[in-house]
Structure 1
Amino acid sequence: MKIIKKSLMSLLLTTASLVLLAACSRPEVKDVSKDKVTINVVAPDGLPAMAMAKLIKENTQVDGYESMDIKYSVEKSSDALVTAVLKKEPDIAIVPSNVAATAYNKTKGEYKIAGTTGTGSFYLVSTEELKKLEDIKGKTVVAMGKGLTPDLITQGLLKNMGVNGQTEVNFSYVNSPNEIIPIIATGKETTAIIPEPALTGLIATKPQVKVIASLNEQWMKIFNTTFGYPQATIIVKSELLKEHKDFIEGFLSETEEGIKWDYNNKEEFGQYCEDIGLSAKKEVLIKSLERSNLKYTGIKDSVEEYKNYFKILSELDAKTIGGQMPDEEIYMD
Structure 2
Amino acid sequence: MQLKKRVSALALAVVLALSATACSGTGSSSTGSSAAESASSAASSAASSAATTEKTTIKVGTLKGPTGLGMLKMMQDADAKTTTNDYKFALDTAPTAAVAKLTSGEVDMAGLPTNLAASLYKKTNGKMQLLEINTLGVLSIVTNGETITSIKDLKGKKIVSSGKGSVPEYAFNYILKQNGLNPEKDVQVEYASEHAAAMTKLVSGQVKIAVLPEPFVTQTLAKCKTAKIALNMTDEWSKVVKDGSVLTMGCMVVRKDFAEKHKDAVNQFLADYKASSEYANQNAEATGKLAEKYLGMPAAVAAKAIPNCSLTFMDGDEMKAKVQPFFKIMYQENPQSIGGKLPDDGIYYQK
Please point out which of 256, 268, 279 is paired with 2:286.
268
Structure 1 residue 87 and structure 2 residue 132: aligned? no
Task: Give the Cα separation in 2 of the matches to 1:134 and 1:33.
Answer: 60
CA gap of 1:85–1:301, structure 2 versus 1, over 3 A, is same
Q: Percent identity?
A: 24
Q: Aligned-pair distance for 1:54?
A: 0.6
Structure 1 residue 113 and structure 2 residue 130: aligned? yes
CA contact (8 A) 2:77 2:83 kept: no
What is the CA deviation profile of residues 261-289 of structure 1, one whole-angstrom value per residue up to 9, with x for unaligned ones?
113222221111122143x3222211111
Structure 1 residue 57 and structure 2 residue 76: aligned? yes
CA contact (8 A) 1:226 1:305 kept: no
Q: Aligned-pair distance for 1:329?
A: 0.5
Please point out which of 238, 242, 245 is paired with 1:220.
238
What is the CA deviation profile of residues 147-206 of structure 1, one whole-angstrom value per residue up to 9, with x for unaligned ones?
443121111111112211211112233222222233322333221111111111111122
SS in structure 2 at match of 1:230: coil
Please point out which of 233, 237, 253 is paired with 2:271.
253
CA gap of 1:306–1:62, structure 2 versus 1, over 3 A, is farther
Task: Give the Cα separation in 2 of the matches to 1:60 and 1:118.
Answer: 24
Task: Give the Cα separation in 2 of the matches to 1:45 and 1:236.
Answer: 18
Q: In the alignment, what sits opposite 2:59?
A: 40
Structure 1 residue 323 and structure 2 residue 340: aligned? yes
Q: Which moved more, 1:253-262 or 1:307-316?
A: 307-316
Task: Give the Cα separation in 1 of the matches to 2:88 and 2:305.
Answer: 27
SS in structure 2 at match of 1:41: strand
CA contact (8 A) 1:62 1:251 kept: no
Q: Aligned-pair distance for 1:247?
A: 3.5
Unmatched tracts of structure 2, length 5 or more: 1-28
Q: In the alignment, what sits opposite 1:155?
A: 173
CA contact (8 A) 2:159 2:190 kept: yes
Q: Aligned-pair distance for 1:243?
A: 4.4
Q: In the alignment, what sits opposite 1:6?
A: none
CA gap of 1:154–1:41, structure 2 versus 1, over 3 A, is same
CA gap of 1:223–1:135, structure 2 versus 1, over 3 A, is same
Task: State TM-score, norm by structure 2.
Answer: 0.78
- What code does the residue aligned with 1:88 have? G
Query: Which protein, 1 or 2, shows the higher relative CO under an 8 Å CA cutoff with sep ≥ 6?
Result: 1
Q: Aligned-pair distance for 1:331?
A: 0.7
What is the CA deviation profile of residues 197-231 of structure 1, one whole-angstrom value per residue up to 9, with x for unaligned ones?
11111111222222122212222332246572211
Q: In the alignment, what sits opposite 1:8?
A: none
CA contact (8 A) 1:61 1:70 kept: no
SS in structure 2 at match of 1:179: helix
What RMSD in Å do the two structures reach over aligned CA positions? 2.9
Q: In the alignment, what sits opposite 1:296?
A: 313
Residues matched between the structures, number: 310
What is the CA deviation profile of residues 96-140 of structure 1, one whole-angstrom value per residue up to 9, with x for unaligned ones?
112211221222222211211111211112233321222211222
Task: State TM-score, norm by structure 1.
Answer: 0.82
